[in-house]
A and B are shown apart, each in its own frame.
Chain A
Amino acid sequence: MTVALETRSGEAGHSGTDVRSDLHVHIEPRDRGGIAIELQSRVKPYYGDSIQRQAEEVLEALGVRHAQVQIHDEGALPFVIAARIEAAVKRAGRGQGTRVLPDKVSLPEASSRDRLRRSRLYVPGSEPKYFINAALHGPDAIILDLEDSVHPGEKDAARLLVRNALRAVDFLHCERMVRINQLPLGLEDLDEIVPESPNLILIPKVENPEQMLEAGARIADIKADYGITRPIWLMPILESALGIENALAIAQASENIVALTIGLEDYTSDLGVVKTPAGAESLYARQRVVNAAHAAGVQAIDSVCGDVGDMEGLRVWALNSRALGFDGMGCVHPVQIPVIHDAFAPTSLEIERACKIVAAYNDAHQKGLGVVSLGSKMIDPPVVQRALKLMARAQAMGLAKV
């Protein structure tokens, strides 16, 4: 049986002197002649055979038997090579409905609802060179981004790359997050991403609870299809005046929502104001997010500081963020991580005071006293609660003894 297929070529990925850890694949399906691979690679003396073999396997898996393939490799790792070849094949109109999955590192534990989320490092979903070492810098979470950092023409390829990264890259103790595209494009992202059990999915530009329900339903369907039972948490990003006004309803839309966050670039642009270092223009919106998050019993997470050179500005912003009631913020470069962790950590004075309050509380409790006092001051129950919370947080950050 012969099926006439239209012959169109496909290409994916990047090469060039400035490119590292990526590759460019050009594929031209043909009717006969088998697979002919032309390989150019700076690592050819070491991995030339391996690349050749992997390319043949991926093409085979995608049902491509006859094609001319040009690979210009810049030292890409195997999971990247697989994703780029798959993208090129699919752009050539072949291999639809088949996914070629790279070897899997062991799936890390599901994350707890209220784990530490001080810092989340954004990594552009189309830049594989940043994936492999991102976790070494110790952020609480890594966001593989499919949205704003990925060119509209690269969405399909980035999706495959991020999917493969979720399987093949060891993100150590970091929570594995993915920011999908705005719905409805984001639904296609979910189809590739959810089977790999990310810990959390960020949904951008949410303006009403229905959007959360729509994404949630799709995730539930895919999880059911793949037999995934562990939770995949959700974090809506509010980026418009309307989104902010609907903050509480959005935060309460699904029990899988664990945090509410805000995107300040889009929000300030929606308002037609300039985003300033002091952030007066977004104070209301940020307070609203904090308040709605607490009302809904979820974490409140702040936006990012885009100026990587301004460490002092970042420190001031982050301290202010914590003071407003946020639990963490985003980062766009690893150098921002320690600054953010420092800023969101309770100070030693705070810890010392909380310790005393808790000790006084325990003491009173043991003596069967209803009233807790520290020195001459009476301590109200909410103060004790706050001290207990702070101690728990300090312990989670490794700052206080259990």
Chain B
Amino acid sequence: MAILEKSELVANAAGRIVPEMVNGRPQVPFMGVGKYRPINGKATPAIRTSADFPTNGDKRVPDLESALRKCGLRSGSVISSHHHLRDGDRVALMALEAAGKIGVKDLTWFPSASFPSQKSAITLMESGVIDHIEGSMNGPLGDYCTQGKMRGMGVLRSHGGRWQAIQDGEVHIDIAVIAAPTADPFGNCDGSHGKSACGSLGFALADSIYADHVIVVTDNLVPFPCVPWQIQGNNVDYVVEVDSIGDPAKIVSGTTQITRSPDRLRIAELVAQFLRDAGIMRNGFSFQAGAGSIALAFVSYLKQMMKQSGVKARFVRGGSTKYLVELLEEGLTDYILDGQTFDLDGIRSMANNPRHVATSPFTSYNYHGKGNFASMVDAVVLGATEVDANFNANVVTHSDGRLLHGIGGWQNCLASRCTILAVPSFRDRIPVIVDEVTTLCGPGELVDVVATERGIAINPRRQDLLDAVKGSKLPIRPLREIKEEVERICGGKPQRPVHRDRPVAIVKWVDGTVLDTVWQIP
């Protein structure tokens, strides 16, 4: 399925050069934020009838290979998996290897994210079992893609963009394989209990609704009913019981640690002070912060300030960790709306506290719906690998063009009322604020604040924020000035890394249009 050779390239509304055709499918180039209005209907899964399923609700089959055969696996199928078990997941590879044994070729693997421990997928790509991966790639898989070794093109989407792509019919999943920390024989699944507990299973929800076939794989089978049913068995074809779905040590971190780096702590403190001084931190407010080292420290600074000012949040969104759970348990927030659960405290809280709510990319992030939660969040604190002087930002590639992170919820979170990128102004000697980002992931009009250890830059489009912090002691500076200072420190502007003219992956915007291209690197 050698697609790469003949693809016309066009410039999109952001001025980025993108392919018009990807893996045999025509693409819509990015048209600007909020500009693309799709007119088609949604994907329509086939009607299924209970006549074809056991009335006693027992959908168990002996192993994955049989389940895949029963689901009609064939060459060229799209198999999906999910990353709620993070680097500890064993199920995705188990399924792909079983497909290899069956002898099919040219599969599209459609994970919500891939992880370094899944690097043996490279062997499956080399042997032709997998044609290409549509989903975030980093580490060895990212290098394999950016070095141009993958046959098909990579497609990188946000969590909300993945839901949108499935719902809009851009990606048709033949077989979804869902790893379930707890399940019953009917296929109801729960993520917050069991030896491999991971919290929310939200990433798998779209697949369970729209895929032709759904296989649940669990290492903790309980008699019906499995509650809460984060995934409904009514969408599930088969249930497979295995000894282990993953390595608990890598599914969650025992404790998430706050950074001790003084520079990162400074950035975190500045962000918290910004929220306070700009008046965003007020009774009933909301914020989102992930599990990155700066984000965790930010939560801890903000918490002190909330206590000092007697302020309480209505809800916080995570990436939940011990630090969000503490806010909930100390009454500093009414709810945690949780998209992904990172540590043991998060999992315990979700299992026991009705105010710690598992959410899905549909409710939180999907752009092609009647709104989503992301735009209702007062402030979000995100990372980035690069930002340009117009606030355009990159999160997927390193400055040299190698794939570094998945997009995750990052693009979706840009819809927040105040999007703050909390980044060091340079890493080692490499400036983070640059003339042009290597890969555009977030349009600058949606990035409101860039907070670095050398000062806070507010997007000139946000005069309201500039006014709000007037007179505060915060080091507010133009982004360009910080950029120039860093270039002085680093001994001039960096050379532009060389890339080849061959696209190896595309970055989708939240509406399914193509925002940018990842190019092959030497």
**Chain A residues within CB distance 8 Å of chain B:** 20-21, 42-43, 45-50, 54, 74-78, 132-133, 136-137, 333-335
Contacts and interface: CB of A to CB of B under 8 A. Distances in A.
Contacts of A45: 399-400, 494-495, 497-498
B263 interface: yes
Interface string B398-440: 0110000000000000000000000000011110000000000
A48 B454 contact: no
Interface in B213-256: none
A128 to B, nearest CB: 11
A333 B428 CA distance: 20
Contact of A42 (B262, B428, B491): B428
Contacts of A335: 262, 265
A47 B453 contact: no
B266 interface: yes
A54 B429 CA distance: 15
B491 A137 contact: no
Given A43-B428, A43-B430, A137-B266, A50 B453 contact: no
Given A45-B400, A47-B494, A136-B454, A77 B429 contact: yes
A363 B427 CA distance: 58
B452 to A, nearest CB: 10
A20 B490 CA distance: 14
Given A21-B429, A48-B495, A50-B492, 9 more contacts: A45-B400, A45-B494, A45-B495, A45-B498, A46-B399, A47-B491, A47-B494, A76-B429, A77-B490
Contact of A77 (B263, B399, B489, B498): B489
Contacts of B265: 334-335
A136 B263 contact: yes
A133 B495 contact: no
Contacts of A50: 491-492, 495
A136 B266 contact: yes
A132 B489 contact: yes
Contacts of B494: 43, 45-47
Nearest to B522: A45
Nearest to A137: B262
Given A43-B430, A47-B490, A47-B491, A133 B453 contact: yes
Contact of B262 (A46, A54, A76, A333): A333
Given A42-B428, A43-B428, A133-B453, A334 B495 contact: no
Nearest to A134: B262
A21 B400 CA distance: 18
B400 A136 contact: no
Interface of B: 262-263, 265-266, 399-400, 427-430, 453-454, 489-492, 494-495, 497-498
Nearest to A73: B429
Nearest to A308: B260
Nearest to B400: A45
Contact of B429 (A46, A133, A333): A46
Which residue, B427, B489, B494, B497, has most C-beta atoms of chain A within 10 A?
B489
A54 B492 CA distance: 12
Contacts of A21: 428-429
Q: Which 8 A-B pairs have the closest CB atoms?
A: A75-B428, A46-B494, A334-B262, A78-B491, A45-B497, A75-B429, A43-B429, A45-B400
A48 B100 CA distance: 44
Contacts of A133: 262-263, 266, 453
A74 B266 contact: no
Contacts of B491: 47, 50, 54, 77-78
A77 to B, nearest CB: 6
A20 B266 contact: no
Contacts of B498: 45
A20 B428 contact: yes
Contacts of B262: 133, 137, 333-335
Residue from A45, A74, A76 whose CB has the most chain B CB atoms within 10 Å: A45
A73 to B, nearest CB: 8
A42 B399 CA distance: 11
A45 B430 CA distance: 10
Nearest to B521: A45
Contacts of B400: 45-46
Contacts of B492: 50
B304 to A, nearest CB: 12
A48 B262 CA distance: 29
A312 B497 CA distance: 49
Contacts of A334: 262, 265-266
A54 B490 CA distance: 13
Contacts of A132: 489
Contacts of B489: 77, 132
Nearest to B399: A46
B489 to A, nearest CB: 6
* Residue in A46, A136, A335 whose Cβ sees the most chain B Cβ within 10 Å: A46
Contacts of A20: 428
A43 B430 CA distance: 7
B91 to A, nearest CB: 32
A76 B430 CA distance: 10
Given A46-B497, A50-B492, A132-B489, A75 B454 contact: no
A286 B64 CA distance: 74
Contacts of A43: 428-430, 494
Nearest to A41: B429
Contacts of B399: 45-46
A337 to B, nearest CB: 9
A15 to B, nearest CB: 12
23 contacts: A20-B428, A42-B428, A43-B494, A45-B399, A45-B400, A45-B495, A46-B399, A46-B400, A46-B429, A46-B495, A47-B429, A47-B491, A49-B495, A50-B491, A50-B492, A76-B429, A77-B429, A77-B491, A136-B454, A137-B262, A333-B262, A335-B262, A335-B265
A53 to B, nearest CB: 10
Contacts of A76: 429
Nearest to B485: A170
A296 B243 CA distance: 78
Contacts of A78: 490-491
A203 B140 CA distance: 52
A42 B428 CA distance: 9
B262 to A, nearest CB: 4
Contacts of B495: 45-50
Q: Looking at B427, B429, B490, which has the most chain A CB atoms within 10 Å of its CB?
A: B429
Contacts of A74: 428
Contact of A136 (B427, B428, B453, B490): B453
Contacts of A47: 429, 490-491, 494-495
B243 to A, nearest CB: 35
A132 B491 CA distance: 13
A46 to B, nearest CB: 3
A46 B400 CA distance: 8
A75 B430 contact: yes
B266 to A, nearest CB: 6
A379 B490 CA distance: 58
Contacts of B490: 47, 77-78
B512 to A, nearest CB: 32
A84 to B, nearest CB: 14
Among A47, A54, A78, the one with the most B-chain Cβ atoms within 10 Å of its Cβ is A47
B129 to A, nearest CB: 34
Contacts of B429: 21, 43, 46-47, 75-77
Nearest to B427: A75
Nearest to B491: A78
A305 B4 CA distance: 62
